[in-house]
């Protein structure tokens, strides 16, 4: 069983919701990333989304855009992420890791080679922001045959008809984008989210996780009431950006931001 499915079935038994932090690999420099991942797990992360830095992150706001720039300046490549996951797995064989990014770095490595490497190092899922299910007919089967989950997005603008298609193609969990906009955008409306999640429940057994606009314990707890998981990115990446002159303090800060969310969600 894929580690993601395993984790959600455990959470279900415990009556808890998944907390899914996102960080950009290589930000502020590659040597920190594995340490950050362990810190996030210590603070209560259930799944880690590891961002693959890209030169043109069209779906991201300024916070993650700048994180990509920092990581790229340090030379972070997709093959370096593979090494990071491999290193992470030496100490942690339980926490699912999802690679999240844009298609072009994967096109360059080649789909087959990418799928092989990801499976080898212990990646569990892949979320490609600019690859909707309609364009996944080449990569999708390669992921599936290696038990890697292809995770897709559903947006507030997604029609029910499209949502059904996306549900049929998705594995691991569905990533519901809470608002129209890019990552790091302001306000999330929990009622609105609940309203959009309701029809999805009827279409799929996949866990429904919500990202975009979750910034603190209060919003995390609110969303956890209606979703199966809460994804938090910019709020963490912001902490990294604010502490570039003292990178050794960042792991501790990420831990405290995430721990606050964990506590609020579990309360």
Partner 1 sequence: MTVSATGVSKTVLETKFSELTQMPDARGHFGPYGGRFVSETLSFALEELEKTYLSLRDDPDFQAEFDYDLAHYVGRPSPLYHAKRWSESLGGAQIWLKREDLNHTGAHKVNNTIGQALLAKKTGKPRIIAETGAGQHGVASATVAARLGLECDVYMGAEDVERQKLNVYRMRLLGARVIPVESGTRTLKDAMNEALRDWVTNVDNTFYIIGTVAGPHPYPLLVRDFNSVVGREARRQSLEQIGRLPDALIACVGGGSNAMGLFYPFVEDDAVAMFGVEAGGDGVETGRHAAPLTTNAPRGVLHGNRTYLMSDEAGQVSDTHSISAGLDYPGVGPEHALWKDVGRVSYVAANDKEVLEAFRELTHMEGIMPALESAHALAHAKVLAPTMRPDQHIIVNLSGRGDKDIMTVAKIDGIEF
Where in 149-178 is the site for partner 1 (CB under 8 A)?
152-159, 162, 166, 177
Decide whether 79 or 91 has the Cβ nearer to partner 1: 79
Binding partner 1 (rule: CB under 8 A), the pick from 180, 195, 218, 225 is 180
Where in 68-127 is the site for partner 1 (CB under 8 A)?
69, 72, 77-79, 102-109
E strand or H helix at 210: strand 208-211
CA distance 100 to 80: 14
CA distance 158 to 124: 26
Binding partner 1 (rule: CB under 8 A), the pick from 142, 182, 188, 265 is 182
Using the contact rule CB under 8 A, the part of the chain among 39-47, 130-138, 234-242, 259-267 near partner 1 is 130-138
Burial of residue 168, with CB atoms counted within 10 A of its CB: 0-12 exposed, 13-18 middle, 19 or more buried: exposed
**22 near partner 1 (CB under 8 A):** no
| C-beta atoms surrounding 53 within 10 Å | 27
CA distance 181 to 166: 20
Q: Of the listed 49, 124, 222, 228, which one is catalytic?
A: 49
Decide whether 139 or 264 has the Cβ nearer to partner 1: 139
How many residues sit in the footprint of partner 1 (CB under 8 A)? 43
Binding partner 1 (rule: CB under 8 A), the pick from 16, 29, 38, 59 is 59
CA distance 158 to 170: 15
**198 near partner 1 (CB under 8 A):** no
Closest C-alpha among 53, 62, 57, 61 to residue 27: 53
- Is 60 assigned a catalytic role? yes
Reported in sequence order, the residue ranges of 54-198 that DSSP labels E, i.e. its strands, are 97-101, 125-128, 149-154, 174-177
Q: Of the listed 46, 60, 124, 222, which one is catalytic?
A: 60
Interface ranges with partner 1 (CB under 8 A)? 54-59, 61, 65, 69, 72, 77-79, 102-109, 129-132, 134-135, 138, 152-159, 162, 166, 177, 180-182, 185
């Amino acid at each position: 069983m894929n580690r993601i499915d395993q984790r959600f079935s455990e959470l279900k038994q415990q009556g808890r919701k998944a907390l899914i932090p996102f960080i950009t690999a290589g930000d502020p420099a590659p040597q920190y990333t594995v340490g950050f991942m362990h810190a996030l797990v210590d603070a209560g992360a259930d799944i880690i989304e590891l961002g693959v830095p890209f030169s043109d992150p069209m779906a991201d706001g300024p916070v993650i855009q700048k994180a990509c720039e920092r990581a790229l300046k340090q030379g972070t490549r997709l093959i370096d992420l593979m090494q990071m996951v491999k290193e992470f797995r030496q100490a942690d064989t339980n926490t699912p890791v999802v690679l999240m990014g844009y298609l072009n770095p994967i096109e360059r490595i080649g789909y087959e080679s990418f799928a092989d490497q990801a499976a080898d190092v212990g990646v569990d899922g892949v979320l490609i922001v600019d690859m909707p299910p309609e364009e996944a007919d080449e990569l999708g089967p390669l992921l599936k045959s290696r038990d890697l989950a292809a995770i897709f997005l559903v947006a507030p603008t997604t029609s029910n008809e499209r949502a059904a298609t996306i549900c049929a193609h998705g594995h691991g969990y569905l990533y519901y984008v809470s608002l129209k906009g890019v990552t790091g955008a302001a306000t999330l409306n929990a009622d609105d989210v609940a309203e959009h999640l309701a029809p999805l429940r009827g279409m799929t057994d996949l866990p429904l996780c919500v990202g975009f606009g979750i910034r603190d314990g209060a919003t995390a707890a609110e969303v956890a009431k209606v979703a199966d998981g809460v994804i938090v990115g910019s709020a963490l990446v912001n902490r990294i950006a604010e502490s570039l002159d003292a990178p050794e303090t960042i792991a501790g800060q990420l831990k405290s931001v995430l721990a606050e969310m964990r506590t609020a969600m579990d309360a």
